[in-house]
Amino acid sequence: MTDSQLRELMKGPSEVWQRALYDEYCTYVYTIAANNLRSCGTAEDIEECTADIFVDIFRSLQSEKTYSGDLKWIISTIAKRSSIDFFRRISLKNNRTVPIDDVTAFYEASENDIENASERKELKRILIDCVKKLGDPDSSIIIRHYYYGRSSGEIASELNMTASSVQKRIQRARKKLKNLLFKAGVDAEW
């Protein structure tokens, strides 16, 4: 779900957009909480922290329905801050301290991995959606050529076309795909 789709949902009942937001970002938020609490928290603590984070997210977005910026970064910021606060509460309760340098070093390394994986997943979803928008036979030609690594001649024989027409369709489809990706917010060098 994109930010614009979520903004549209936010105009309606809060239960609908909150459920959509939770479904979309639950794993992401849970991972952030788990990475911050793994040295001192139990599975129940991580689940409780995740629930608290979503309450904070819902309150923040509810109070400011016209937010600006990328929703993922807003969620990430709230999740980081809330999970660090939760970590401090657990540490105080257990009379256990962990050097802040250890926590921040681990968090920065794992945060990049999480963000990169999440960004790759989102990019793949956008790419697949844009390829589908090309329609047949362009989408099947692009998939066969770039995903399965088939040559223009192989694709031509499978689709009863000439190799030159397949090559021309690939060229045109790439231009269309570049425009679709740009409209979807993906800016890449082709």
pLDDT in tens, 60-116: 887 765 566 678 888 888 899 998 888 888 877 766 555 555 555 555 555 556 667
Cα dist from 119 to 7, 28, 72, 73, 184, whole Å: 20, 11, 10, 11, 14
pLDDT at 149: 81
Q: For residue 150, give the 3-state DSSP assignment.
A: coil
Residue 147 vs residue 64, higher pLDDT: 147
DSSP 134: T
The mean of the pLDDT values for the chain is 81
- Cα-flanking dihedrals φ and ψ of residue 58, to 5°? -60, -40
**Does the pLDDT at position 11 exceed 70?**
yes
Contacts of residue 139, Cβ cutoff 8 Å, sequence gap at least 6: 131, 132, 133, 173
Residue 52 vs residue 107, higher pLDDT: 52
How far apart are alpha carbons 60 and 19 in whole angstroms? 15
Residue 142 vs residue 9, higher pLDDT: 142
**Does the pLDDT at position 168 exceed 90?**
yes
How far, rounded to the nearest angstrom, does the alpha carbon of residue 49 sit from its chain's CA centroid? 21
pLDDT band at 1 (very low <50, low <70, confident <90, very high): low
pTM of the entire predicted model: 0.49
> pLDDT over 70 for what percent of the chain?
83
Cβ(159)–Cβ(166) below 8 Å:
yes
pLDDT at 10: 78
Do the domains 121-190 and 1-98 match in fold?
Answer: no
- Write the pLDDT tens digit of every residue in 57-68: 888 887 765 566
Q: What is the CATH number of domain 121-190?
A: 1.10.10.10
pLDDT at 190: 47
How far apart are alpha carbons 23 and 190 in whole angstroms? 33
Fold of 1-98: Rna Polymerase Sigma Factor; Chain: A (1.10.1740)
Domain boundaries, the chain: 1-98, 121-190
